[in-house]
Homo-oligomer: A and B are copies of this chain.
Amino acid sequence: MHDLLAITLKRLEGAADGDRDALAALIGEGRAVSAGRVLVEEGSRPQLSMLLLSGFVGRVSILNEGGRQISGLNVPGDFVDLHSLLLKKMDHSLVALTDVVVATISHVDLRLICEARPQLMRALWRETVIDGAINREWLLAQGRMAAAERLAHRFCELYVRLEAVGLAADYRFDLPITQSDAADMLGITPVHVNRSLKTLRKQGLLEWRGGPAVIHEWRTLTQLAQFDPIYLQARLITPGA
């Protein structure tokens, strides 16, 4: 668990070591939350931000009539809702898609440390900007790619992000979410996720049945998905040791 904290801190680019230590000192103990639980409710006004230590958290937006969209996914090592420091009211919910462990940092502390340490603030700002880059990529995929390619793209992205925090290797990683959740991430129906998966499976590109995922043909998969990790590079500092 503490490896992860180290990785998270390490990729705060431009921060001094003193900054990192000071931030680390503000981070609370990890708290376990079980799958399906809402971590932060839409409309609420959080007084703290969270660092994800294990599991997957989804950024969930709801439409009155029949729509649920996961507009972002956090993997271990991510700050989950740094932006709530700046935007009082949550315009979406944060949901534990799997069992998760989160550590918290109070906004009061964050505000103080940011004021005292501009380089750290800048690094945290940068984290939220990278989230934005990922978001843009999702939007591009959502707007201009077919369902199967979008799915392939998401697998590529997840692999790269998880590898960067030591949670994926040899084209394998664990993704214990439902096809329904995947559907909400991709903007398609669960039924169609299933069919798209079948297509990719038949092409021998990957294997995933709600738990361990294996990418068989990385090269082909990235080509199909037109996946270019530049938009992630900011998070690509390889895990220390």
Chain A, interface size category, equals 35 or more
CB contacts under 8 Å to B, within A87-120, are: 87, 89, 91-92, 114-115, 118-119
Q: Is the CB of B61 within 8 A of A140?
A: yes
A129 to B129, CA, bound (A): 8
For residue A84, give the distance in angstroms from its CB to the closest CB of chain B. Answer: 9
Contact with A121, one of B72, B118, B184, B233 (Cβ below 8 angstroms): B118
Chain B CB within 8 A of A180 CB: no
Q: Is the CB of A87 within 8 A of B133?
A: yes
Contact with A115, one of B71, B118, B130 (Cβ below 8 angstroms): B118
Chain B CB within 8 A of A68 CB: yes
Chain B CB within 8 A of A138 CB: yes
Q: Is the CB of A87 within 8 A of B136?
A: no
6 smallest A-B Cβ distances: which pairs? Answer: A143-B187, A67-B144, A86-B126, A71-B136, A69-B143, A125-B125
Contact with A144, one of B68, B83, B128 (Cβ below 8 angstroms): B68
Identical chains bound together, number: 2
Q: Is the CB of B226 within 8 A of A140?
A: no
* CB within 8 Å for A89 and B128 given contacts A63-B140, A136-B72, A140-B67: no
Chain B CB within 8 A of A5 CB: no
**Beyond the given A91-B136, A142-B143, could you list 8 further A-B residue pairs with CB under 8 A, ordered by the A residue number?**
A63-B144, A67-B143, A71-B140, A87-B129, A89-B233, A114-B118, A118-B118, A131-B132
Output the residue of A63, A71, A138, A233 with the most chain B CB within 10 A.
Answer: A71
* CB within 8 Å for A142 and B139 given contacts A87-B133, A122-B121, A230-B91: yes
Chain B CB within 8 A of A231 CB: yes
* CB within 8 Å for A126 and B87 given contacts A140-B61, A140-B63, A143-B187: yes
Q: Please, which residue of chain B has its CB at the minimum distance from the CB of A187?
A: B143
Q: Please, which residue of chain B has its CB at the minimum distance from the CB of A144?
A: B67
CB contacts under 8 Å to B, within A47-100, are: 59, 61, 63-69, 71-72, 83, 86-87, 89, 91-92
Chain B CB within 8 A of A135 CB: yes
Q: Is the CB of A83 within 8 A of B132?
A: yes
Chain B CB within 8 A of A213 CB: no
